[in-house]
A = this chain, B = another copy of it.
Amino acid sequence: MKTYVSDAVIKRLPRYRRFLKSLKEQGTDKVSSKQLGEIMDVTASQIRQDLNHFGGFGQQGYGYGVEELGDRLGEILGVDKTYNVAFIGCGRLGQALMNFLIANEPNYKITALCDIRPELQGREIAGVKIDNVEDFNKKLIGGGIDIVILTIPADQVEAVRDLIEKSDVKGVWNFSMTEMVIKGKKVMNMHLSDSLQALTYYINHPD
């Protein structure tokens, strides 16, 4: 149990988990690092090295239990627990992500919604009412929200920074076109266009 695990390793864990889930659905109940590596196109060494940051989950001469390893990865990531999430911005991207959470990540509970557009306020999505800014601010400061998902235009971000900083929100999943840094909060800046631009580079540079 190392105290610090590098970002490269952490970012690989969800992918391991995905493939394990898929193996489980196929009815596979054990897998060796070699087999998993072939499926995922990574080395068996890397898989064993990555997993052993968190302790030994396998059995020599046997391999790893598919379900058990998947569950353990879930625990390590913390995705076995539930989280209350609030959306700031309920436009198409916000709504698409809400659908996504409901269908794929039910442990992230949609708890509060906010939009500055009066025509959206009062409407309900997934059983949750869209608040105006004032009501929403009270809820956020009131506590109990773990994660804020930001799906607003870049020019509206500055207005919510202070609010989030004052709240006890732990993390922000930021889809606005900004690089947000908030003291004491984890922020995941998504910048979708960066990946489109990287794709564009590779389109123009086939190997």
Contacts and interface: CB of A to CB of B under 8 A. Distances in A.
Q: Which of A79, A99, A100, A200 has the most chain B CB atoms inside 10 A of its CB? A: A200
Contact of A201 (B10, B108, B202): B10
Interface in A156-207: 170-171, 173, 177, 179, 186, 188, 190-204, 206
Contacts of A193: 14, 100, 104-105
A190 B83 CA distance: 22
Interface residues of A, number: 49
A40 B82 CA distance: 34
A188 B194 contact: no
Contacts of A92: 92-93, 95-96, 99
Contacts of A147: 199-200, 203
Q: Which of A81, A99, A195, A202 has the most chain B CB atoms inside 10 A of its CB? A: A202
Contacts of A96: 91-93, 96
A128 interface: no
Contacts of A99: 92-93
Tell me the dominant secondary structure on chain A's binding face.
helix
A105 B99 CA distance: 25
What 10 pairs across the A-B complex have the smallest Cβ distances? A93-B96, A92-B96, A14-B194, A78-B204, A14-B197, A188-B199, A186-B202, A170-B203, A171-B203, A78-B200
Interface of A: 10-11, 13-15, 17-18, 76-79, 81, 83, 91-93, 95-97, 99-100, 104-105, 108, 146-147, 170-171, 173, 177, 179, 186, 188, 190-204, 206
